[in-house]
Amino acid sequence: MIYDRITLPVNEIPKFWLNILPSLPEPLPDPIPKIGEKPCREKVLKMFESSWTKEALWQEYAPVARVRVPDEVLEYYIRVGRPTPLYRARRLEEYLRTPARIYFKREDTLPTGSFKLNTIIPQIYYAKKEGFEFIVSSTGAGQTGSAVAAVARAMGFKAKIFMVRSKYKSAPLRGTFMKLCGAEFTPSPSPETEIGRKYYSVNPEHPGDLEICAKEAAEWAQKSKFKTYVVKGSFFNFVVLHQTIIGLEVKKQLEIIDETPDVLIGCVGAGSNFLGLTLPFVHDVIKGKENYKFIAVRSDVCAPEINGEYRYDLLAPDTEGPLYKMYTLGVTTEVPPIIAEGLRHHFSSPILSYLVNKKIVKVVAYKEKEALKAGALVTGLENFIPAAESSYAIKAAIDEALKAKETGEEKVIVANISGNGFLDLAGYAQVLKLEK
């Protein structure tokens, strides 16, 4: 019997998240509170004090290598399907006629559709513990919003989700999911905030964008009569910390089958999906114990590590701070729409930027069509539909497997499947011209 799905018993779920910060050869550059000021992480954290939890404020620069996962979070992780399977894509290997062994970490099996649950669960757990009364979130493609709506409801919170209007119009079903969960759902720009009205009053059908959307959520939270927690979907160190559950599970799973990875691959928007898989392995490389290769996969329309600069930049235009040291295309850059909306970030998280700058992580970029073709290939051969974002990671895994074929190496390739593509099917059809 061949077991191509490597599971991990629920009681072996990792009990700690891995914090990479203390292991970095040099400290991560501090953010700058305001244009013209000097880097100072304390001042920046102060700016977040009212809208973040105390736990998040501490985790953002935790001075310890491991952070305990609360039991309630572990129980919740298990309910939604953690540990997720590690899956050997044997038919894809056969199709490619490669000597490489390809493993997929199956975050697509999580029930709200993506890996976002890994951070949304602890964030809302801490919010509850610290007396927050309301949850608000902004969302682009809707994967963060779906997870927020579901977890908030399950933990007894009312939630409000602002979703970029153009995204909602082109793919309304994630909005439907949030409404089903009972969340208050608001296309952005909306008439409900000052920043929203600026655009809404001129054009009630204004398409919106992620920055306006995030600002609306922040303003709404600030003005709310409830103590309101604003969920973070990616970018920040503490979000990345939560995602390391992915890679910690993979480590245990690879041990079970006695495999050592050669290459670890993930797609990148801001970076938490990629870092979630790779940081536990990056840790061993930094410590000189291992010599893995890491590939962060970008959309070619938006690859700041390739086409941008490593410098301090703002997170949103028309703000005065904070500024983070990161690869950026420039905060005002307009990025063309792609199906894999989750990859359309024009800067990357401080940790990923640092690792790319230190040449620990390599970055590649693919065109939309070649990525989605790889996703389609896997749908047929391995019988699950990867999220549009995940198809970029699959494309890179295929290319690595083909290189191994040329050299005859029995490479072990591990790629992170960030989510499922049920709600990306219309996008697949459009790009691959499947309609008749």
Which residue of 19, 51, 59, 112 would you call a contact of a copy of itself, by CB under 8 A?
Answer: 112
Of 3-11, 28-36, 306-314, 340-348, which segment contacts a copy of itself by CB under 8 A?
3-11
- Minimum distance from residue 204 beta carbon to a copy of itself (Å): 13
- Minimum distance from residue 337 beta carbon to a copy of itself (Å): 19
Return the number of the residue (226 or 384) whose C-beta is nearest a copy of itself.
384
Of 51-59, 103-111, 298-306, 327-335, which segment contacts a copy of itself by CB under 8 A?
103-111
Q: Please name every residue paired with 419 in a beta bridge, in sequence order, or none if there are none.
A: 114
Give Dmax (Cα) for the chain: 64
Return the number of the residue (156 or 408) whose C-beta is nearest a copy of itself.
156
Which residue of 384, 403, 405, 409 would you call a contact of a copy of itself, by CB under 8 A?
Answer: 384
Return the number of the residue (74 or 248) whose C-beta is nearest a copy of itself.
74
DSSP 142-181: SHHHHHHHHHHHHTT-EEEEEEEHHHHHH-THHHHHHHHT
Hey, what are 428's tokens?
Answer: 């697949």
Q: Is 429 in the site for a copy of itself (CB under 8 A)?
A: yes
Residue 370's region, left for phi above 0, alpha for psi from -120 to 50, else beta, is: alpha
Hey, what are 436's tokens?
Answer: 């008749």
- Minimum distance from residue 4 beta carbon to a copy of itself (Å): 5
Within positions 58 to 97, which residues make up the interface with a copy of itself, using CB under 8 A?
71, 74-75, 78-81, 85, 87, 91
Return the number of the residue (178 or 361) whose C-beta is nearest a copy of itself.
178
Q: Rounded CA gap, 82 and 92, in Å?
A: 25
Site string for a copy of itself, 336-355 (x = CB under 8 A): --------------------
Q: Rounded CA gap, 302 and 332, in Å?
A: 13
Q: Is 7 in the site for a copy of itself (CB under 8 A)?
A: yes
Strands 228-230 and 184-188: unpaired
Number of residues that bind a copy of itself (CB under 8 A): 58
Within positions 138 to 197, which residues make up the interface with a copy of itself, using CB under 8 A?
149-151, 153-154, 172-173, 176-177, 179-182, 185
Under 8 Å between Cβ of 111 and 144: no
Q: Rounded CA gap, 67 and 83, in Å?
A: 18
Return the number of the residue (150 or 217) whose C-beta is nearest a copy of itself.
150
Q: Is 1 in the site for a copy of itself (CB under 8 A)?
A: yes
Hey, what are 318's tokens?
Answer: 């028309």
- Minimum distance from residue 94 beta carbon to a copy of itself (Å): 10
Q: Is 434 in the site for a copy of itself (CB under 8 A)?
A: yes
Which residue of 312, 379, 403, 405 would you call a contact of a copy of itself, by CB under 8 A?
Answer: 379
In what helix (H) or strand (E) does residue 295 lie, and over which residues does it extend? Answer: strand 293-299
Return the number of the residue (331 or 381) whose C-beta is nearest a copy of itself.
381
State the first-to-last Cα distance of the chain, in angstroms, to the nearest integer. 41
Site string for a copy of itself, 298-327 (x = CB under 8 A): ------------------------------
Q: Rounded CA gap, 139 and 164, in Å?
A: 7
Hey, what are 274's tokens?
Answer: 């990629």
Return the number of the residue (178 or 295) whose C-beta is nearest a copy of itself.
178
Return the number of the residue (145 or 350) whose C-beta is nearest a copy of itself.
145
Return the number of the residue (97 or 436) whose C-beta is nearest a copy of itself.
436
Q: Is 125 in the site for a copy of itself (CB under 8 A)?
A: no
Under 8 Å between Cβ of 148 and 183: yes
Q: Rounded CA gap, 352 and 358, in Å?
A: 10
434 class by beta-carbon count within 10 Å (0-12 exposed, 13-18 middle, 19+ buried): exposed
Q: Peptide bond preceding 189: is omega within 30 degrees of 0, i.e. cis?
A: yes
334 class by beta-carbon count within 10 Å (0-12 exposed, 13-18 middle, 19+ buried): exposed
Q: Alpha helices, DSSP H only, in 189-336?
A: 194-200, 210-223, 237-243, 245-256, 272-286, 304-307
Return the number of the residue (61 or 115) whose C-beta is nearest a copy of itself.
115
Number of helices and strands (H, E) in the chain?
18, 15
Applying CB under 8 A, the residues found at the interface with a copy of itself are 1-5, 7, 9-11, 71, 74-75, 78-81, 85, 87, 91, 108-109, 111-113, 117, 149-151, 153-154, 172-173, 176-177, 179-182, 185, 376, 379-385, 420, 422-423, 425-426, 428-429, 432, 434-436
